[in-house]
Amino acid sequence: AKNQGRNTFQFFTPEFNHWVTERLRIENGLRHALARNEMRLHFQPQVSLATRRIVGCEALLRWQPTEGELVMPDRFIPVAEETGLIVPIGHWVLEQACRQLARWDAEGGAPIRMAVNVAVPQLRQPDFVDSVRQALQQAGLAPGRLEIEVTESVLLDKDERISRTLEGLLALGTKLSLDDFGTGYASLSYLRNFRFDVLKIDRSFVSELHRNEADIKLIRAIISIARDLSLQTVAEGVESEAQLEILQELGCNLGQGYHFSRPVPADQLGELMRGEREA
C-alpha cells in the first residue's frame, strides 16, 4: 500500500500540477475576457510581391488580461476551442475586423482584403454564415473583401455541417483561404473538394528557403498546383529580402512576414498604408 501510494503520488509531478493550474487559470480568465474588454486585434499586412504594395491583412488575436501579462494566441486559442469559448470570441473577431476594414476605407485607403482565422467549432455552428453576413452588412462591406482562413483539418473532417458552412460562405461570396498549407495530413487531392481562393504556404517551408534547395522545389510544386487550381498563393513568415526574391521568382503572389511588418495595432497599419499613398 505504501508503494502504491508513492506511485500514485508520483503521477502528479510539479510540472503536471503547474500545467493544470495554468490551464484552469486561462480557462477561467477566458470566460470573462470579452465582457472585460480584454481582447485586441492586431493586423499584419499582406504585400503583393509584384508591386510591393499592401493588398490585404490578417487579423490576429491578442489577449491582455486586466491583471496579468499579454497572452499570445498559441496559448489560449486551443483552450478556447476545447471549451467552445472560441464561438463568441470568434464572433467578436469577425465583427471587429469588418468594422476596422470599413474604418480604413473611410480614411481613403485602397480596398484591401481582410483575412480572419476561423476555427472548426465555429464552422459547426448552423448560424455561422448568417453571422458573417451580418458582420459584413453592419460594416457596409462587400463579401469579397473578407477572407475566411481555415486549416487543413477541415479538409479531413467528415462533419457535414462544416461542408454546408463552406458552401454557404461560397454562396455568400466571401473568399476562402487554406492556412498553414503543407503542415497537416490532408492530401493535395482534397483541395478539389472545396473551392478555395487562396493557399497560404506555411512558414516552415519559407524559413530555410534561401539555403535549402528541397524547400525551393517544394514551394515551386505547391505554386504550380495552386496555379492549376486558380488559387492565389501567400507565403507566410517572409523575414528577409533573400526569401522574398526567391518567392517572387517562383511566381508566388503575396508575402506576409516580419520583413514587411509584424502584426501591429490598427492605427499603425493605417499609418503604413497612408505612407504608401503619399509616396
Name the site residues for ligand C2E (rule: CB under 6 A).
44, 60-61, 72-74, 77, 86, 90, 93, 117-119, 179-180, 203, 237-239, 256-258, 263
Complex with ligand C2E: residue 54 or 77, whichever CB lies closer: 77
Backbone angles phi, psi at 201, to 5 degrees: -80, 120
Cα–Cα distance for residue pair 209/256, rounded to 1 Å: 15
How many other C-beta atoms are found inside a 10 Å radius of the C-beta of residue 78?
Answer: 14
- Helices 73-83 and 14-33 pack at an angle, to 10 degrees, of 80
Q: Which is nearer to ligand C2E, 129 or 238 (CB)?
A: 238
Which residue shows C-alpha cell 488559387?
Answer: 231
Picked from Ca ion, ligand C2E, none, the partner binding residue 161 (CB below 5 to 8 A depending on kind) is none
Q: How far is the CB of 30 from ligand C2E (least distance, A)?
A: 13
CB 264 → ligand C2E: shortest distance, Å?
10
Footprint on this chain of Ca ion (rule: CB under 5 A): 117, 149, 179-180, 236
The distance of closest approach from Cβ of residue 233 to ligand C2E in the complex, given in angstroms and rounded to an integer, is: 15
Q: Report strand pairing: 232-235 vs 254-255.
A: parallel
Terminal-to-terminal C-alpha distance of the chain: 78
Q: Is the separation of the CB atoms in 147 and 175 below 8 Å?
A: yes
Q: Report, in Å, the least distance between residue 12 CB and ligand C2E.
A: 30
**CB under 5 to 8 A by kind: which of ligand C2E, Ca ion, none does 74 bind?**
ligand C2E
Q: How far is the CB of 161 from ligand C2E (least distance, A)?
A: 17
Q: Which is nearer to ligand C2E, 150 or 226 (CB)?
A: 150
Nearer to ligand C2E by C-beta: 6 or 162? Answer: 162
Residue for cell digits 501510494?
5
In the complex with ligand C2E, the residue whose CB is nearer, 119 or 222, is 119
DSSP-derived letter for residue 202 is: P
**Biggest alpha carbon distance in the chain?**
78
